[in-house]
Amino acid sequence: MDVDEIDVLREAFGPDEVPSQAAQNQARAALRQRMSSKEQRVTSRPMFRRRQFVLTAGIAVAAAAAVVTGVAVVATRGEDRGPAPKAQPVPSTPAKGVLPYLRPASAAEYLENAAWTAERRPWQDPRPDQFMYIETLQLRNKPAYEREHPNDAIRPELSENRKVQEWWSVDGQTRASYENGRLVVAKVGQGEYWTRVEWSTITAMTSPEKVPDAVRGPGSLGVDLDAFIGQYVVPPNVQAAIFRHLAQSPGMTLNPDAVNIDGRPAVGLGRTLKGYLSQELLFDKETYQFIGERLVAIKDHVTHGDLVSRRGDVFRQAIYAKLIIVDKPGDTQ
């Protein structure tokens, strides 16, 4: 810019106002602070590592909203804001939208992440006349072999994936399933009898302390929690309470190398039965969503001198494709 242009600007805007003495003192103090910060920066800047993890569509919005309210580090081109803030201790109750454990290392930590994920699932309380639709993909031996050997481990050369669809009314009075390709609907007392946990019992389990080891209540014979969450479509807060209850239960183990039916990486959390079987709940390794269950041998087992099972034998494996509320039997959306 030449002298003539500077003169034009001066005539247009006039001379700059002289800053007050207070403003000069404040600027001088800020400059000294900046100089002091630069001297310390080489040795005192904390190291930060960014962990990337995948969120499902249902919780991505909540996480994104929470990030806005969290601590933000802003980099402005051409400016140095001084040393990064010191790392703060993780609160006992995680901030909304922030996973409790970014690197879970135990069954209890995985289950807390699973509870956190469950709580963010969309939900609308069902009517008594609506139905729980449960669709599973089960790894099983072929029917002919299964009829002859119902308790055998799954044999890879004789196994198949089967889609199993069930509908249970919320009031527990009606069930439906496909038999030989035909949708069959039955009502309790009409030639068939069953016992289901009443909805009021389910919705009362809102905290780990309110979840018993075996679900009991009106209309219940007692259901193992490990099986319960795959047999009922429960509200998000109830599912979260069950996970937290299991996290506090003794004997929960972590199997980080569990593999899902379709090859997706999964983690297994469960208990040891009879000393050689692991009854595991399966969770997606990235999103922490509950996706299924399996029963697998964790060591060779011999009974009466005969080898009954080998380490790695799978006796049951089911993936829950859908656990949703629908209006009537036959609905899948």
| SS3 labels along 90-114 | CCCCCCCCCCCCCCCCCHHHHHHHH
Per domain, the residue ranges of the chain are: 107-326
Mean pLDDT by 10 residues, the chain (333 residues): 49 53 55 45 30 27 31 30 38 66 95 96 95 96 94 93 96 95 94 89 94 73 80 96 93 83 82 90 92 92 82 93 97 96
- Output the pLDDT for position 48: 24
SS3 266: strand
pLDDT of residue 264: 75
Cβ neighbors of 249 (< 8 A, separation 6 or more) are: 213, 271
> Among positive and negative, which fits the CA dihedral 133, 139, 145, 151?
negative
pTM above 0.75, yes or no: no
Q: What pLDDT is recorded for position 305?
A: 72
Give the separation between CA 200 and CA 75, rounded to whole angstroms: 53
- The predicted pLDDT at position 25 comes to 56
Phi, psi (rounded to 5 degrees) for 54: -90, 135
d(CA 98, CA 101): 9
Task: Look at phi and psi of residue 155 and say left if phi exceeds 0, alpha if psi is from -120 to 50, else beta.
Answer: beta
* CA-closest candidate to residue 318, choices 166, 92, 102: 166
φ, ψ for residue 290, nearest 5 deg: -75, 125
**Torsion angles phi and psi, residue 318, rounded to 5:** -140, 135
Nearest alpha carbon to residue 288 among 99, 114, 107, 57:
114
